Amino acid sequence: MTLHSLSADRRLAEHRDGVEPGEALGWFRALPPVGPDQMIGRWRGSGLPTGSPLDGLLESYGWYGKEFVDAETVHPLLFGTRSGPRPVDPALIPVSVLRDRPGLAHSRAARLAFRTVRPLLTTTKPKARLRAVEHHGILTAAMVYDALPIIDVFKQVSLDVRLGLMDLRGLPDPFFFVLRRES
C-alpha cells in the first residue's frame, strides 16, 4: 500500500459520515485514475454522504454493489437477497422519481413496494459497459448504463477501494459512492 493510498483510505474513513459536495469533488479530481481492467470483479457499495437527495437511498433499498465481469458484461446494480446478491435491471427503476421526488423515494411505502417487486426486476443480462472516459481532462474507468442517462466514473482510493461519481442527467450535483472489492 502506498503513502497516497494510506492517506486516501484515512480520508475516506474520516468522512464516512459526510463531506461537503465541493470537497468531495475536489478530492475525487485529485485521486489517481483507474483503468477499466482494474475494475473487474464484484464490489460492495456504500454511499458517501454529501447532501445529495440520493444520499442513503440505495442502501435503504438493499443495494449490495456492482459487478464487472468484463468490459461488455457489467451488472450496475446488485441488491442483496437471501440467496446472495442479484442483478437488477436499472431501466425498470423509476430514476426520475429518485431524482425529482427524493422525499417519495425515501418513504417507507416506496421501500416496501420495491422489496415486493424486486424479484420481478432481476436480470441475468448485463445492463452496462465499462469504458475509459475523459473526465475533467483525465482518462479513467467509467461504467456507462445501457438504457439510462447515467455514467459512473471511478478513481482509485487504494488497490481494492474506489471512489465513484455518478453523473445523472438532471441531477445538479454528482452523487458519490464507495466501492470495496470483494476478496
Judge contact between 174 and 19, C-beta under 8 A: no
**Cell 459512492 belongs to which residue?**
177
pLDDT of residue 103: 84
3-state DSSP of 42-103: EEEEEECCCCCCCCCHHHHCCEEEEEEEECCEEEEEEECCCCCCEEECHHHCCHHHHHHCHH
Burial degree of 113 (CB within 10 A; 0-12, 13-18, 19+): exposed
Mean pLDDT of 20-36: 95
Q: For 101-120, write each residue's pLDDT tens digit.
A: 878 888 899 889 988 999 99
Percent of the chain at pLDDT exceeding 90: 72
Q: For 49-107, write each residue's pLDDT tens digit.
A: 999 999 988 899 999 999 999 999 999 999 999 999 999 999 998 888 878 887 888 88
What pTM was computed for the model? 0.90
Topology of the domain comprising 3-181: Lipocalin (2.40.128)
